Each structure stands twice: as structure tokens, then as C-alpha cells.
Amino acid sequence: MAKDGIGASVLRKEDRRFTTGQGTYTDDVNRPGQLHAVFVRSPHAHATIKSVDLTAARAMPGVVAIHTGEELAEGGINNLICGWGITSKDGTPMKMGPYPPLAIGKVRFVGQPVLAVVAESRGQAEDAAHAVEVDYDILPSVTRLADALNPDAPAVHHFEADGAVWEHGQPPKNLIFDWELGDAKATDQAFAKAKHVVKIDVVNNRTVPSAMEARAVVAEYASAGEHFTLWNTTQNPHLLRVVLSAFINVAPEHKLRIIAPDVGGGFGSKIFTYSEEVVCLWSAKATGRPVKWASSRSEAFLTDAHGRDHITTAEMAFDENHKMLGLKVDTIANLGAYMSLFASLIPTYLYGPLLSGQYAIPAIHCNVRAVYTNTVPVDAVRGAGRPEATYVLERLIETAARELGVDRAELRRKNFVRTFPYQTPVLWQYDSGDYDGLLDSVLAKADWNGFPARKAESAKRGKLRGIGLSCYIEACGVAPSSAVGGALGCGVGMWEMAEIKVNPVGTVEVFVGTLGHGQGHETTYAQIAADRFGIPIDSISVIEGDTDKVQQGMGSYGSRTAGNGTSAVSKALDKVEAKAKKIAAHLLEASEDDIKIEDGNFVIAGTDKKLTLTEVALAAYAFHKLPTDIEPGLDEKAYFDPVNLTYPAGAFVCEVEVDPATGTTEIVNFTAVDDFGNVINPMIVEGQVHGGVIHGIGQALLEEVVYDPDSGQLMTGSYNDYCMPRADNLPTNFELAFQVTPSPSNPLGVKGCGEAGAIGAPPAIINAITDAIGTNDLQMPATAEKVWRALQGVSAKNAA
């Protein structure tokens, strides 16, 4: 293995750029003659646009254009789309309300783009945007998930009026789909013979993705070639290009270059196609000048797709030996006012199939009703469906252990999946894992058995100490394309592509269709190539995020880079290696089978005859000594279409101290043991777990989007009101460890790690708090006041 190869904690190549202020983000891109777009956004949650008066705004200094929804529609620009079709259990397709890039006729959430003002400077565009007069007729709105299906709730979309035809009669208004997974009959039968049934109601709180870099767009149009260039904060430039061209029709695919420069985080929010990309491309052509839009943080709160927002009732059936017999889950999911690009996928195929967790549950049935509300669209945020599923299951099991009076760890252990592959009753087939190993390891590392003594010590200081457990399963890289594109409704294939170019001097360029936005791809991919050829990572460059350089790709989200991106790179390396060996064999006058790579050299096994990669590469291009059956060049491309998803798993123990006087929770110990298969760079993976767990702490304790139920205004529209975790919210002791069971589904045996923390942490934390306070009646986020109120409830009950 090269010293920089697979398994080494190599320092991140990209951090020299990021830590010295030399990163180039979309907002750092400035083009000659550039104009600035500012969006006039809806101040109302639900309103009819009666009239628009642009007279004053058009006369403002510097104003070049003001774009309207009607103008775009007349120009052939189509609506934004949701790319994953879900079918209701009655056979009807999901109801996709029309989502024009700029509102036409109606607005349906606060912040929805209505008009775009384009001016010479941003200040001028802002001033003019304030001078635009839009006259609204305010309509009643519904923002709370719990109210969306009420018969008297206002309808967010009127499908009859919008021309949709319902062959099966009119479903309840605001219902997008009513979907099910699993065998309802078998599950009912399991419950019928159950000895114990445990039930919970849980809320999965709505969150804001909060990437450090807000979204931004620079669009440019070259009229001579009718060619567009789009710089954009995107997690998936190629998919964006397909959507913008084939579906939205704003630019043809072969004349649209998309560049994602450095991207400062996304957590899912930069997967989707937003109005601003469409409008800036349109404007660049209309004005003949480059157009920039950069989101303010306030706009980010109002427009970046939010996450989670579920209400769920779940029941589990056990036999007399506490073996799980069945699981029933009934969920309502808020998708906001319009369906974002993957909105329908998140509460369906990224949710239901995860409900088996680490357990052998013979029968599972899951029903999900997705609804419209007058809120920002909801789509994937770190984990996307998997945190929601894990939260339901792990709170349910913890509750069961308490109600059955059995040890929490033992109840889990009794029901673990132990043989692989394991076919769950909800689609996925787990390919590998060792759940006993994870649990044993985390209990030992967290000193689970020493907890009573620590609890007693806390009590002496007036604190309530609790301990909670969570055993999670993750599913990364939705696959294979043949399955997801057919029965599951995906509009695209979920493969990945890589190209390896060995230059004539022996340096290597790795082109790959994923898109690092903070995860250290430039280092991780370089380690894989370094490992293969035994060369230092400094002689390897990794290129992502430019559709002119990287030929195809599917981007980075859902922890798919590890399983799919590295596999594509690995396959391309196989091809390069094979050709290089063929060339080396010819030059060394040996058989290809005898050529081995050792310490960066191509050697004839058992001899001292060798060539460096540089010598082989030079021969491939300076094509003097090679026979005609070898093509010049050392440059190979590969697609990887996974045969299965990967299934990372882990076990987390959280230990908290609650101050009963104020309800404040302090996380005193957090122990995470994860199985991500083979680990390419342990330091980077630890960083991902730290970040993921902290994301989970945010959701469990602090973060919550609140809309005013009457006005529909976003109450948590800044970090003064929306609480992100900070350094003092982190665990006092934070211990990580890895267990390795390689994935059999990809060449490197890797599984993916980016979302695990956010998936496993929330139930571990809430299970710890409910253990501390002695009541299960607690919903996220467990703010100090909520915990204090729960404690008041316990006191009142004890007094009664």
C-alpha cells in the first residue's frame, strides 16, 4: 500500500485552499458586464396575485429587466418538477401541483419567487424590488402538518381548476399520495397473535438545512454559439443539466455547461432545481449579459428546501418471548406548497424500507400520506427519510423495553438480524453486517454497566442522569438502476461515472461525476488512485463539478459517493491498469500476466526488470515502440451501476444530565460505533460522524421550524430564532470507533458515512432524556422548556 493509500488518515488536500481563503465559491465568480438579480418574494403564505405594477420599479436607476412568470411561460419555460413518481395504493399517480419558476396567479408560501428584478448593481436591484407593487388578495393558509388533512383546511392546490383529471374520484384535498409498503394482511395477522403490543406517537420536527454557503447562481449566455454557462451551488451538476434542459426547457443540454465551483455544504438542499437557476439562465439570454443571484441568509430560510416534518403513529407486536412479530407505521409527511425534485422519494422509498432496522421483523406495514401545506417545499436533508424511520423504530423499541420491563439492549439483541443476505419484508436486502458486534462494542466503550453509579453521583449534584441507546441501519446509493427506475418510480439511473487520465508524464487526473461539497473528495479519490499505482497523492488531481470536463455523473447525496463514486473510480482504474500492464509487458518483453505493480513500478514478477508509471505513460502517448493492436493513450472511463444498496449500521449510546429546575439537557457522554465497511480515510470519516451526530443533536434538542398558524409567516427566519447547535451543545465526552464488515456489493467494500450520525443520534438522545426524566411523553426538539414541562407532568402525576 502507498503511504497515502486506502486506510491512511491523509490530511485533506483541499483544506490548504479552504483554510487560506483561496476557495472559489459561486459568489466569488464575477463575469464582465455582470448584472444582479433580486427576487420579489411572496410576503403571504397563500394569496391571489390581483395585479402587479412595475412602473415605478422600471424607472429606477440601473434597472435592466424585470421578469415575470407569464413572460417565462410564454417563452416556453416549463414548471419545476418532482422527478420521482409515486403511486398511491389505489393506483392513482401522485398529485403534482404546477410549480412555475415565478408565480403565476397565486402564491402558496412565504418567500415564493414572484418577480425577478435585474439591475446593474445588487443595491439597485434591491431598491427596485422594493419599488415593485404587487397587490395580493390574501387567502386562508394551512402551515401545520397536523391541520393539512382537516376537511375545513384551505386547499393549497385546486386540481380541478388546474386541469388534472382524477379517474378514481377526488381524494382529500392537500393529499398528494396515500402510499403503502409491506403486507398489510400479514401484519394484521401478526398483531392478532401478539402477546404484547406497544404503541407510540412521534413527531419528527421540521428543520432548515443551514449549509454554511448560501445558494448562488451566475448565468452567462454567448449569443454567437447560443451557448449557456451556469455557475451554481449544486450537489449534482449533470442531473441539474438534464432537468434544466429536458424538463424545464431553459437551455439545450449540449449547449449548457454547468460548473459547480467550491460548494460550501449542502446537506441535501443543493440537490434540487430551484427557480433562481431557471430565471438567471432566462435572464442571461434575455438581457445578453451575465446575471448573478446570491441568496441572503434570510432568503435561505425562506427558500432552501426544508427537511423532515412527519407525524407518525407506530405499533409493534411481540410474542411471549419478546420476539418481534410485526410493525405497523402510519405517517403523515409534509411536502410543503410544491413538490421539490426528490420530495416524493424521501417519505416513501427512503423511509419505509428502513423500518426493519437491525431487526428480523416478520411482517411490516407502512402507510404514508404526503400532504401539501403553505410552507417552503420539503425535500432531502442529511439522512432524508432514514432519520425519520430510525427515530420511529428506536423510540418504539426503547418504549417497548420499558413497558415490558426488560433490558433495552437485550430486547434489541434478541431480535437482531444475524444471517446475511437478509431479505426484509420492506424491499431492501441487507448484504452484510454484525449488529451484535456493534452493540457489544458500544456498551463496553460507553461503560453501560457503570451507569447506575454515575446516575447516583449526578443525583448528589441535583441532576437527573439518563442513558439511551440507538441501533441504526442506513441504506446508501439507491440501486440498482433497473429496479429503482422501474417499479420504484425513479426518473433517472443511479449509476456513477469516472474517468482516469494518466498524463504523458505519469501524473493522474481523476474525473468523477460526484460532487464534493465539504466531504474531502479530492483527497479520498486521490488515495484510491495512489493506492492502485503506488504513487503519492500529490501527483493526482481530482476533478468534479464541470459538465465540460466530467462527461456524466449523478452527484453527491444520500451517502452515495463512497459506494458508487469510488466504485466507478475503481473500475476505471482497472481498465487503466490493464492497459498499462499491456504496454509494460510489451516494453519489457514479458507476458501481461507476469506484470505486477510494486512500489509505484511495473515489474516483471520475480525479476528486477521494471518501468515507472511515467515511462509506461510516456510510451502510451509518444507512440513509437508499441504495436498497432494497442491504441495510443492511457485514459479510461467506467460506469458503475450498483447491484444493491450498501447498508452501514451502527450503535450509539448517549448519556445526558438534565437540570430539573430549568429542563436543560447536557450531553455528557456520546459513544458511537459505526460499521461503514472498509474506510478509505479514517480522519475524514471521523469528521463526518462528528458532524452527523452534531446535526442529530441539533434536531433532537434545538432545531425547529415554526410557522405562525394564523398568518402563515415563518417565525424562525433567522438564527436569532432558529437554533443551530454550537460548541457548548456538543457532548462533553465524544468517543467514536469503527467496526469493519466490508460491503460485498462494490469493489472496495465501502458503505458510506455522511448521514449516519444524523440518523442514529436523535433517538439515542431522546431515549436518554426520557430515561432521565421518567416519562416517555416528549417530542423533539427537547428544548429546556419542553423537558421542564414533561417533568412538571411527572410531578403532578406523582402528587395525584
Partner 1 sequence: MHETRYHRPSSLDEAAKILSASADGRYLSGGQTLIPTMKHRLAEPTDLIDLTRLAELKGISESGGALTIGAATTHAEVASSDAVRKAIPALAALAGKIGDPAVRHKGTIGGSIANNDPGADYPAAALGLGATIHTSKRAIAADDFFKGMFTTALEDGEIVTKVSFPIPTKAAYEKFHNAASRYALTGVFVAVTKGGDVRVAVTGAGASGVFRAGGIEAALSSTFAADAIGGVAIDSSDLLSDIHGSADYRANLIKVMAERAVAAIA
Binding residues for partner 1 (CB under 8 A)? 123, 126-127, 130, 298, 661-662, 702, 706, 715-716, 719-724, 783-785, 788-789
- Which of these, 143, 200, 310, lies nearest to 699 by C-alpha position? 310
Which residues neighbour 419 within 8 Å (Cβ) at sequence distance 6 or greater?
none
Which residues neighbour 450 within 8 Å (Cβ) at sequence distance 6 or greater?
none
Of the pair 18, 719, the CB lying nearest partner 1 is at: 719
Of the pair 78, 298, the CB lying nearest partner 1 is at: 298
Of the pair 485, 709, the CB lying nearest partner 1 is at: 709
Of the pair 28, 785, the CB lying nearest partner 1 is at: 785
- Which of these, 343, 340, 335, 347, lies nearest to 371 by C-alpha position? 335
Environment class of 186 (CB within 10 Å of its CB; exposed 0-12, middle 13-18, buried 19+): middle
Environment class of 296 (CB within 10 Å of its CB; exposed 0-12, middle 13-18, buried 19+): exposed
State CA 164 to chain mean position distance. Answer: 31
Give me the least distance between CB of 119 and partner 1, in Å please.
Answer: 13
Give me the least distance between CB of 296 and partner 1, in Å please.
Answer: 9
Give me the least distance between CB of 729 and partner 1, in Å please.
Answer: 8
Of the pair 472, 707, the CB lying nearest partner 1 is at: 707
Give me the least distance between CB of 723 and partner 1, in Å please.
Answer: 4
Measured over the CA atoms of residue 111, residue 112, residue 117 and residue 120, the dihedral's sign is positive
Of the pair 146, 197, the CB lying nearest partner 1 is at: 146
Strands, sheet with 47-53, edge to edge from the N-terminal-most edge strand: 106-107, 47-53, 133-138
Give me the least distance between CB of 498 and partner 1, in Å please.
Answer: 42
Environment class of 732 (CB within 10 Å of its CB; exposed 0-12, middle 13-18, buried 19+): exposed
Give me the least distance between CB of 292 and partner 1, in Å please.
Answer: 17
Among all chains, which residue has been given the C-alpha cell 451502527? 650
Give me the least distance between CB of 659 and partner 1, in Å please.
Answer: 9
Give me the least distance between CB of 718 and partner 1, in Å please.
Answer: 9
Give me the least distance between CB of 715 and partner 1, in Å please.
Answer: 5
**What distance in Å separates the CA atoms of residue 250 and residue 231, rounded to the nearest whole number?**
15
- Listing DSSP states for 329-364 in one string gives EEEEEE--SS--TTTTTTTTTTTGGGTTTTB--SEE
Among all chains, which residue has been given the C-alpha cell 411572496? 42
Of the pair 600, 709, the CB lying nearest partner 1 is at: 709
**What distance in Å separates the CA atoms of residue 763 and residue 396, rounded to the nearest whole number?**
10
Of the pair 6, 700, the CB lying nearest partner 1 is at: 700
User: Would you call the peptide bond into 480 cis, given omega within 30 degrees of 0 as the criterion?
Assistant: yes
**What distance in Å separates the CA atoms of residue 102 and residue 71, rounded to the nearest whole number?**
9
Give me the least distance between CB of 785 and partner 1, in Å please.
Answer: 5
- DSSP H helices, 435-520, are 435-445, 451-460, 481-484
Give me the least distance between CB of 131 and partner 1, in Å please.
Answer: 12
Beta strands, E only, 661-732:
665-675
Rounded (10°) CA dihedral 776, 777, 782, 785:
-130
- Which of these, 622, 624, 586, lies nearest to 602 by C-alpha position? 586
Give me the least distance between CB of 661 and partner 1, in Å please.
Answer: 5
Identity of residue 31: R
Of the pair 543, 724, the CB lying nearest partner 1 is at: 724
Give me the least distance between CB of 714 and partner 1, in Å please.
Answer: 11
Give me the least distance between CB of 656 and partner 1, in Å please.
Answer: 16
Asked if 312 and 201 count as a contact pair (C-beta separation under 8 A), the reply is yes
Give me the least distance between CB of 61 and partner 1, in Å please.
Answer: 12
Asked if 26 and 545 count as a contact pair (C-beta separation under 8 A), the reply is no
Of the pair 223, 720, the CB lying nearest partner 1 is at: 720
Of the pair 189, 775, the CB lying nearest partner 1 is at: 775
CA angle 542, 547, 551 (to 5 degrees): 75
Environment class of 290 (CB within 10 Å of its CB; exposed 0-12, middle 13-18, buried 19+): buried
Of the pair 197, 724, the CB lying nearest partner 1 is at: 724
Among all chains, which residue has been given the C-alpha cell 434540487? 272
Rounded to 5 degrees, φ, ψ at 686 are -60, -40
Three-state DSSP class for 572?
Answer: helix
**What distance in Å separates the CA atoms of residue 730 and residue 668, rounded to the nearest whole number?**
9
**What distance in Å separates the CA atoms of residue 717 and residue 704, rounded to the nearest whole number?**
11
Of the pair 60, 240, the CB lying nearest partner 1 is at: 60
Of the pair 582, 695, the CB lying nearest partner 1 is at: 695
Q: Nine-digit cell at 147?
A: 391541520
Three-state DSSP class for 607?
Answer: coil
Give me the least distance between CB of 721 and partner 1, in Å please.
Answer: 6
Of the pair 114, 314, the CB lying nearest partner 1 is at: 114
Give me the least distance between CB of 267 and partner 1, in Å please.
Answer: 19
466's enclosing H/E stretch is strand 464-473
* HSE-CB for 549 with a 13 A CA cutoff: 17
Give me the least distance between CB of 283 and partner 1, in Å please.
Answer: 22
- Rounded to whole angstroms, what are the CA distances from 155 to 69, 108, 159? 22, 10, 9
Of the pair 321, 720, the CB lying nearest partner 1 is at: 720
Of the pair 124, 681, the CB lying nearest partner 1 is at: 124
Of the pair 298, 313, the CB lying nearest partner 1 is at: 298
Which residues neighbour 259 within 8 Å (Cβ) at sequence distance 6 or greater?
229, 230, 231, 232, 237, 545, 546, 547, 548
